[in-house]
Structure 1
Amino acid sequence: MNKSTDIDIVVRYLEDPENEQLKAELNDWIEQDNANLDIFLDMKAMWQGDPLPAASSTYDVHGQWEQLDQQLVAPAAKPTPVVQMKRRYWWAAAAVLLLAAGTWTFFGPGGYQTFATNQQRDSIRLSDGSMLYLNSNTRVRYAREFGKNSRTIKIDKGEAFFDVTKQDNVPFIVNTPEVAIQVLGTSFNVKSSNHDVKVFVESGKVSATYKATGKKVILTPGMEASLNSQQHDIDTKTYSKRNNILAWKTRTLIFDETPLSEVAASLADFYHVQVKISNPQLADKKLLATFPDLSLDEVLDIMRKTLRINITKTNDLVEIY
């Protein structure tokens, strides 16, 4: 479903919240992706002229679901026709923006911005001079007044790399639903999935705090912290200079006598496929190769010839045997 269709579903419901069919369509759309609830709440707030929550605030998702469920059952007040028309045109313009650019943004009356990518990658230069690089399928948001008195960004989902300009008096803060990250000036990567957040530091020093328990870890260059919301714990790992954590940004995969089991994991993450090693004896086989922005088929062909192994690819499944 494209973004213009998404917006149309929400707008039609906001124009006629008592319509049972529109309620059902909205509910089905929200259930497709947890992030759609945030999008709906943002659009509803803008529709009503309410200020949006600050980027650093904690969102009560469970509570919002309960409120929404009541809304979709109980009658709701209907906006006046004049307001409907004005906002209809405003959101129609927003829909055009979504179609015109792979990275889209919402501007709310509360001075709040949301950026998101679909299948492509993108980058944003922030007002303080810091650079934000977004991987595909990533959604972030921050206040329009970012950089003046605070520098806070929230990652709703996906993966982003931050190259932060140093400001001793204004810390740079990155929030995910489970983890708070604070720096002054550094470069680091944050990957947020359903139940796991990974923070990797390329330069400088980063403080990562697990919100549920208050546990905190200090990361220095080459270190990665994995914070699992189901385990309520923090695991750390130190990498050598040769790793592929930032391959999505550099578009280059580097394997320096890397075991095939690790190669498979890197390929799966980079190309968004499932990689299975059917022959366990191949798991420790080493690969020495550099792949500069090659297609998956090209990489697999080189691996076949270099390691003299069999590889088949069917749709999104790669099998090594």
Structure 2
Amino acid sequence: MNNQTDIDIVIRYLEDPGNEQLKKQLNEWIQQDAGNLDIFLDMKDMWHGDPLPAASAFDTHGQWQELNAVLDNVPAVKKPAEKGRVIKMARKYWAAAAVLLIGGTWAYFGPGSYKTFATAQNQDSLRLPDGSTMYLNAHTTVRYARGFGKENRQIKIDKGEAFFDVTKNDALPFIVNAPDVEVQVLGTAFNVKAANAGVKVFVQSGKVSAAYKGTEKKVILTPGVEASLKHNGTNIDTRVHKKNNNILAWKTRTLIFDEAQLNEVADALEDFYSVQVKINNQQLSDKKLLATFRNMPLDEVLDIMKKTLQINIAHKNDLVEIY
């Protein structure tokens, strides 16, 4: 679904809010991405000529909770006399004003209190207003306040994985909010991954504080250390990684295995290629791989593994079986 189609879904609904089919399409579209609700709410306000909310008053979380009520109670819109011409012009306006494409990453610059960036099957990078750089993995959604770099330096990761190279500013701590977890730094380089099970934070340089929101439970991370924080959890597990690890392989596009055990290799392949890797013969777990793969196709990597480790590997669709 492209951005023109996305905007058309909202406009068709606003033209005929009583249409159950349009309401269903709108609801499905909103559920696809956290940023879609913001687009809908802002467009609805502008459609009806309502004043836009002030940044401090815009409650996205509350809007999510009230979504069903919003969809059920939007009043009918008066149709203009020259409906066909006006609607065509309106659709062109929304498509141009509400969504901007940047190198495969879409960014919403609507009148809400923050900007939302999302990637599909691509990766992208963005220089933030304070001079910091944010690298986004595929299928990642982040947002930051319009006053970023002046009033605060807060970023929210709704889903996915991002690496931050942070410009030092003692007066404005750099804060990353992920589900249930808050990460705070002054100047450093670190990676945050928000997955279904929880949040992982890995530090490349500097120091990072990772904490459960609303609690005193936190940990200070130094270079090479990764913290795992579970959703609705209380414990923070930490792990020290050796220099050659694959946590940032999605960014460097390079997999490095330094006498890595096969189960560790399997985990890295799953993250890097978005596949499921099963080791059907556990006697193979002790085998170790010494290899470097620089942005190579999965089948080429598997072929080298087969010959190097003298093992059998089958790859079909999204499943890799080692036996």
- What residue number does 2:49 align with? none
Deviation at 1:91, TM superposition (A): 1.6
Q: In the TM superposition, what whole-angstrom CA distance separates every residue of 1:95-114 from its partner, at most 9, and x where no partner exists?
A: 7744x741111112245211
1:116-265 pair list within 5 angstroms: 116-211=118-213, 213-265=215-267
Tell me which moved more, 75-84 or 179-188. 75-84
2:7 maps to a residue whose letter is: I
Match for residue 275 of structure 1 among 274, 277, 284: 277
Residue 169 of structure 2: SS of its match in structure 1? coil
How far apart in 2 are the matches of 1:218 and 1:157? 23
In 2, Cα distance between equivalents of 1:240 and 1:58: 42
CA distance in 2, matches of 1:25, 1:225: 39
Q: How does 1:297-316 map to 2 (within 5 A)?
A: 297-316=299-318
- Equivalents in 1 of 2:180, 2:74: separation in Å? 34
Cα pair 2:255 2:292 within 8 Å, conserved:
yes
Matching residue's letter, 1:317: L
Structure 2 CA distance for partners of 1:53 and 1:280, relative to 1, 3 Å: farther
Following TM superposition, by how much is the alpha carbon of 1:178 offset from its aligned partner in structure 2, in angstroms?
1.4
Quote the residue 1:104 is aligned against. 106
Structure-2 separation of matches of 1:15 and 1:209 = 45
Q: CA deviation at 1:52?
A: 7.0
1:126/1:77 CA distance change after superposition, 3 Å: same
Distance 1:79 1:202 in 2: 56
Q: How far, CA to CA, are the matches of 1:308 and 1:53 in structure 2? A: 60
Q: How does 1:80-91 map to 2 (within 5 A)?
A: 81=80, 87-91=90-94
Q: Distance in 2 between matches of 1:302 and 1:11?
A: 52
Q: Are 1:42 and 1:52, in contact at CA under 8 Å, matched by a contact in 2?
A: no
Moved more, 234-243 or 205-214: 205-214
TM-score (norm 2): 0.88
CA 1:43–1:59 in structure 2 vs 1: closer, same or farther (change >3 Å)?
Answer: closer
Give the corresponding residue for 2:45: 48
CA distances 1:34-65 after superposition (whole Å, capped 9, x unpaired): x25x41234312441523756xx9853xx544
Please tell me the residue identity of whatever aligns with 2:96.
Answer: A
Moved more, 200-209 or 103-112: 103-112
5+ residue gaps, structure 2: 47-51
CA distance in 1, matches of 2:296, 2:40: 39
| SS state at 1:242 partner | coil
The amino acid that maps onto 1:41 is D
- Change in 2 beyond 3 A, CA 1:52/1:284: farther
2:27 paired residue number: 27
Root-mean-square deviation (CA), in Å? 2.5
After superposition, what is the alpha-carbon deviation per residue over 1:51-85, rounded to whole angstroms, capped at 9, x for unaligned? 3756xx9853xx54442212333452537749977
Q: Which residue of 2 aligns with 1:92?
A: 95
Distance in structure 2 (CA, Å) of the matches to 1:160 and 1:6: 25
Other structure's SS at 1:299 match: helix
- 2:244 alignment partner, SS class: coil
| Aligned pairs for 1:44-83 within 5 A | 44-49=41-46, 50-51=52-53, 59-60=60-61, 64-74=63-73, 76-78=75-77, 81=80
Change (3 A) 1:271 1:53: farther
Distance 1:181 1:84, change over 3 A: farther
| Structure 1 unaligned blocks of 5 or more | none
The question of whether the paired residues in 1 share the 8 Å contact of 2:119 and 2:140 is answered with yes
The alignment of Structure 1 onto Structure 2 pairs a total of residues equal to 314
Amino-acid identity (%): 63
Matches of 1:104 and 1:156 in 2, distance apart? 15
Q: 1:86 to 1:153 in 2, by over 3 A?
A: farther
Letter in 1 for 2:9: I
**1:261 is matched by which residue type in structure 2?**
N
1:91/1:260 CA distance change after superposition, 3 Å:
same
The Cα offsets for residues 14-46 of structure 1, whole Å up to 9 and x where unpaired, read as 333222221122223344x3x25x412343124
Residue 89 of structure 1: how far off its partner (Å)? 3.1
The corresponding residue for 1:17 is 17
Residue 290 of structure 2 aligns with an amino acid whose one-letter code is L
